[in-house]
Amino acid sequence: MNTDHSLHQRRRPPTAQELDNIPWLRLLTSAERARAVADLRVGDALAGDLVCRIGRPVTYWFGVVEGLLKMSSDNIDGQSMTFTGVPPGGWFGEGTALKRESYRYNIQALRKSVVAGLPIDTFHQLLDRSIGFNRFVMNQLNERLGQFIAAREIDRMNNPDLRVARSLAALFNPVLYPGVGDVLRITQQELAYLVGLSRQRVNEALCSLQAKEMIRVEYGGLRVLDPDALRSSVFDKAK
């Protein structure tokens, strides 16, 4: 497995197209944007690369430009628990960055991904000076709280169809993951890793959700047709 050291060694300045895919840059003033762009770095993560590792001190605030990451931790028995996936447009770890503490979770690339990082000192300078940046981070924290409350509910669900539906709804969150849009590029095996089910059972759940016209399975991904139903109506029908 590749490590976060090798990813750090592969860091480079972002391209113009990659900058266009960073949602909070457009909220900055010209001077703030120039400073952020000068300090931003991106890394080309390979499948299995660790972007963040439990116990490592925070050095960057990270976001996904392309690809798919997963957030997880290990319990005392050595078993891995997945908290959520992080698709394109998602930025994460703002709580850790705010407190300048060590990571309490691992972030790993599920496939080849482009990961952006804003140095921690620049992150705090923008917090001190930029109203637009503050609002973005505040909205992130608010949405993240709701996301983890929902994740706790998912852990207690015994119905696989409901687990898959709620997990998909989380990945289509337009505030946390504005780069996803209507189509999530994900394989059934990747979704199985995030949901904690077998690929075969995920396939059955997706067929069920497609029959209810909530999603459409397309080549290389999933298109959401009814996000409100994914979040709520499906549960009413299943009661």
Q: List pLDDT tens digits, range 8-34.
A: 788 899 999 999 999 999 999 999 999
CA distances 93 to 58, 86, 87, 144, Å, are 9, 11, 14, 10
Q: What is the mean pLDDT of the chain?
A: 88
Give me the domains of the chain, ranges plus CATH numbers.
4-149 (2.60.120.10), 158-238 (1.10.10.10)
CA distance 157 to 140: 26
pTM of the predicted model as reported, rounded to 2 decimal places: 0.84
Q: Which two tokens stand for residue 155?
A: 């852990």
pLDDT at 155: 62
